[in-house]
Amino acid sequence: MKSEKLIVIGENFNSTRKIKATNPRVIEEDGKTGISYTDLDGNKQILDCTDVIPEDPAERNSFLIPHIAQALRNKDMNYIAWAIKNQEAYGAHIIDLCVDEMSVYPEERHEWIKWTVQTAQKITDKIVSIDSSDSTTIYAGLEAHDGSESRPAINSFNLEDGRQDLVPMAKEHNALLFANASGNAGMPQNAEERIANLVTCMEMMDQEGITMEDRFLDPLVFPVGAGPEFGGHYLDAVRELRTMYPDVHIFGGHSNVSFGLPNRKLLNEVFVSLAIVAGCDAMMIDPVMNGVEGLTSFKFAAEALTGTDEYSMKYLKFIRGGDKSKRGGKK
């Protein structure tokens, strides 16, 4: 996947996603309790969550509504389409799909990912990323994917047992391949382990002939609230990997950095900016909450100012061409 612009991977279609039951968007209407939203045709709609929201006010105050999982169980096509197309309207180039929370049983997860991939392809022509901690669920999603409509992406391959089979699978299905820095002994403890694990992943992708432009390296973002050094570990790894591999994509789940801390939006925005300066050219973020147009502009400006864009040629092309991401959609 070639792109001079910042590549945005929309992270919102994940069955782990939750909304507070006290959110103003949670309303009662016509005997139903649910999440209000404006559909793609501009009509006010409600995602019915009556069966999952506690009736007890005390319980409701602390309850989190798994809204993507609820939309999937209800087969609420309006909400599913809105959740996907709204990310696209705000600048997502790839739509990540994860249904791991739908069931603890692999066979059921397989059916959920098959249905979700096929449904998403009816809604968007963007690349869909099949995301799971279980390799067999990714296989099931790939089998359901229609490659004549768009390319798939695999999220993700690493050095953990059982994940390496995803590399030849990516080649077979003409898929973009995300590789993260998890090792066979667990999570990396510093920048050096992140780099070493991803170097090994790169060697495996070399063996299968995965093109550089189809490789996405994720050094792994951990919350700085759990360890103040974690942000620096990630950024140091990005800088070194960008020097080693100028033609691959480098990204991360950047919103992880702020988990457990107040004013997460501020921390996320600053960390994304630091990541771009370090060498990231892709982001796995909520495109609705984060200004994709501003991030793309920042990327071109940062590359010009740090000398990675020789004579500011890409920056000038971007500015003169008015090449800005279009924003739209409604929350």
- Which residue in 240, 250, 253 sits closest to 191, CA to CA? 240
Domain definitions of the chain by residue range = 7-16+92-321
Query: Is the pLDDT reported for residue 328 higher than 60?
Result: no
**Confidence bin at 231 (pLDDT 50/70/90):** very high
d(Cα 172, Cα 210) in Å, to the nearest integer?
10
What's the CATH architecture for 7-16+92-321?
Answer: Alpha-Beta Barrel (3.20)
Nearest-10 crossing angle of helices 135-144, 106-123: 40
**Confidence bin at 265 (pLDDT 50/70/90):** confident
Helix (H, G, I), strand (E, B) or coil at 5: coil
Are the CB atoms for 91 and 46 separated by under 8 Å?
A: no
Q: Is 243 exposed, middle or buried (0-12, 13-18, 19+ CB in 10 A)?
A: exposed
On the CB side of 310, CA atoms within 13 Å amount to: 0
Question: For 65-88, how does the pLDDT look when each residue is reduced to its tens digit (9 = 90+)?
Answer: 999 999 999 999 999 999 999 999
Mean pLDDT of 161-172: 95
Q: What is the length of the chain?
A: 331
Region label for 279, one of left (φ > 0), alpha (ψ between -120 and 50) or beta (otherwise): left
Amino acid identity at 261 = L
* Residue 3, preceding peptide bond in cis (omega within 30° of 0): no
Are the CB atoms for 127 and 151 separated by under 8 Å?
A: yes
Written in H, E and C, the secondary structure of 36-53 is: EEECCCCCEEEEECCCCC
What is the residue whose two structure tokens read 């279609």?
A: 13
